[in-house]
Amino acid sequence: MPIPNKLLYDLIHTELSDIVGPEHITRRRVDKLAYASDNSWVSQMWIDRGQEPPTADFVLFPHNAHEISEIIKVANTYRIPVVPWGGGTGSQGAVIPLYGGIIVDLKRLNRILEIDEESLTVTAEAGIIGQKLEWELNERGLTLAHYPASEYAATLGGYICARGSGTLSTKYGKAEDMVMWVKVVSPTGEIIETLPVPRHASGPGLLELFVGSEGTLGVIVEVKMRVDPLPEERRFRSYLFQDLDKGIEAGRQMMIQRLSPCVIRLYDEVDTKKYVKRVLSLDVTGSYMVVGVDGSREFTEVLWKKIIEICEGLGGEDLGSEPGQRWWDHRYDFYFPPFVRALPKLHGTIETVTTFKNIRPLYYAAKEIIEKDYADYGAYFFAHFSHWYPWGVMVYAQFMIDEPPQDPEEALDLHNRIWADAAKCFISHGGVLNEHHGIGLKLGWLMRKQYGAAWPDLVKIKNALDPNGIMNPGKLGFGPPK
């Protein structure tokens, strides 16, 4: 809720300033606007069209958990929102300060606290940028093995809060599979820790409560992650399948045979034509797949034989190792302008995950909805399949309209309608709202539909932990502060 008057605003500023020091708090317009958008299309479109975006009242840069605890206590006193901010790279608007309040930028909490080379774990503060952590680990022959496209800017805490995935998640898992322990400042200001290890039979998983919580249940301030040794070798191969179904079947076979490839990245025919050509300069027709393995030479040799058998058995044309290696070397190029999908186009990443049994019906149903129902707008649909599980696969589905309405309200409405139709389609086909980008402000209203009868229980947990509703209100479907 807005702070009711200037005097109170200045008094709160004094209190907050006393906690972090005057040089670590700002209420300048230039800073507020810098924290008014993330990587979400909606927040960017709003500014692109010259609309006044929601902004925070204050942006704070605390240095430790104690300061964050004190900030949260002040926020509870005045019942003003607290929005934790890591890298601001999320695509669902999870850090947009919808109700104003305090943005807590965590990037000063960037210390590596321990690298345990015996157990292969790293403990670090939540605000460290992923790439910087990775470089430090690499110097010791280790890797976090989490390679999201946002690695150059996203933070460790953000990885956990959004249940992120990296490009090698098929072998190494999502961030949620790597996290072992977190320290959290609760919505009432207590500094709490989860159990020291993630596997136990000591009651429900407290750790799980914070994973994917998107800042609504507290501020993650420290994280312990599993790490891996840098592999002796990592190699790639590319195949071109006649159609998407053949490619999906090849991936399924690799997974149900438990072959443990580090990556299977399968592009549908539209994505192959448009983006593989644009970024990888590969002009091919069909469904393009990059597959990779890593580990010791002996291990990868065995895997390769099996993978080649599967791909060639399904008619995959072997394009050799060079395109796959080029993809790996340039895997983030897709996300730089001018290659990144960006304004003025209207676009959205509506990725989901489901079982192998459901994936084809889900994909084709979503494609039909977007391309038929929104044909008047020239909408098109394309996808790649890049996070594979023993039981299913994620489809990184996207929609795009090259020339969307210029009116911001009309554009927003269109964006929301397309996304909602796709999301409902996913739910009805056994999928989920989202696989690794999160919910944010974008999909919160659909959480009730997704969770059904279980949704009120999630709300009760939120209300119990955060009685004033100050933590990142308006996200995950939890509504405004009390």
Partner 1 sequence: MREFERHLDTINSCRFCPMCRHVCTVGEAVHRESVTPKGKGLTLFTILKGLQTFDPGVAEVMYQCSLCQLCLEWCVGNWDITGPTLEARRRIVSLGREPPQVRQMKAHIVDQGNPYGGKREDRFASIRHVEAKKGGSVLYFVGCGTAYRRPEIARAALAVLEAADIDYSILPDEECCGAYLDVMGYGEEARTFAQRNVDRFKASGCHTVILGCPHCFYTIKEMYPQWGVKPPKGIRVVHSTTYLRELVMQDRIKLGSLEGKATYQDPCRLGRYCGIYQEPREVIVSFEGLDLVEMRWNREKANCCGYGSGLAITFPRLADDIAMERIAQPKKTEAGFLVTACQSCKTAFVNHLSPEDNLNVLDLVELVAENLA
Helices 408-428 and 356-373: crossing angle in degrees, nearest 10, is 150
Pick the closer one to partner 1 by CB: 127 or 444.
Answer: 127
Structure-block tokens of residue 249: 């079947």
- Residue carrying the six token digits 């990142």: 472
Q: Which residues pair with 143 in a beta bridge?
A: 228
Query: What does 242-290 look like in DSSP terms, one character per residue?
Result: SSHHHHHHHHHHHHHTT---SEEEEE-HHHIIIIIHHHH-----SEEEE
Encoded one letter per residue, x for contact with partner 1 by CB under 8 A and - for no contact, window 42-81 reads: --x--x--x-x------x-x--------------------
Choose which of 141, 203, 204, 337 interacts with partner 1 (CB under 8 A): 337
**At its nearest, how many Å lie between partner 1 and the CB of residue 263?**
20
Tell me how far apart the alpha carbons of residues 268 and 107 are, in angstroms, rounded to a whole number. Answer: 37
Contact flag: residue 141 with partner 1 (CB under 8 A): no
Structure-block tokens of residue 15: 């209190």
Contact flag: residue 342 with partner 1 (CB under 8 A): yes
**At its nearest, how many Å lie between partner 1 and the CB of residue 261?**
26
Contact flag: residue 338 with partner 1 (CB under 8 A): yes
Choose which of 42, 60, 129, 311 interacts with partner 1 (CB under 8 A): 129
Q: How far apart are the first and last CA of the chain?
A: 9
Contact flag: residue 451 with partner 1 (CB under 8 A): no
Are β-strands 82-85 and 102-105 bridged in parallel, bridged antiparallel, or unpaired? parallel
**At its nearest, how many Å lie between partner 1 and the CB of residue 450?**
28
Choose which of 20, 37, 83, 173 interacts with partner 1 (CB under 8 A): 37
Closest by CA to 179, choosing from 162, 191, 192, is 162
- Residue carrying the six token digits 């159990």: 195
Helices (H), 1-113: 6-20, 29-34, 41-48, 65-78
Q: Give the range of 150-158, 286-294, 459-467, 469-477 binding partner 1 by CB under 8 A.
A: 150-158
Beta strands of 356-451 (E only): which ranges? Answer: 380-388, 392-401
Choose which of 1, 13, 31, 79 interacts with partner 1 (CB under 8 A): 31
Contact flag: residue 127 with partner 1 (CB under 8 A): yes
Give buried/exposed letters for 369-391 (b at 16+ CB in 10 A, else e). Answer: bbeeebeebebbbbbbbbbbbee
Choose which of 9, 181, 332, 389 interacts with partner 1 (CB under 8 A): 332
Q: What is the DSSP letter of 454?
A: G
Q: What is the DSSP letter of 465?
A: H
Q: Give the range of 6-14, 30-38, 212-220, 391-399 binding partner 1 by CB under 8 A.
A: 30-38
Number of residues that bind partner 1 (CB under 8 A): 43
Encoded one letter per residue, x for contact with partner 1 by CB under 8 A and - for no contact, window 81-110 reads: ------xxx---------------x-xx-x
Contact flag: residue 333 with partner 1 (CB under 8 A): yes
Pick the closer one to partner 1 by CB: 46 or 426.
Answer: 46
Choose which of 6, 29, 199, 258 interacts with partner 1 (CB under 8 A): 29
Binding region for partner 1 (CB under 8 A): 26, 28-31, 33-35, 37, 39, 44, 47, 50, 52, 59, 61, 87-89, 105, 107-108, 110, 127, 129, 131-132, 135, 139, 150, 152-153, 330, 332-333, 335-340, 342-343
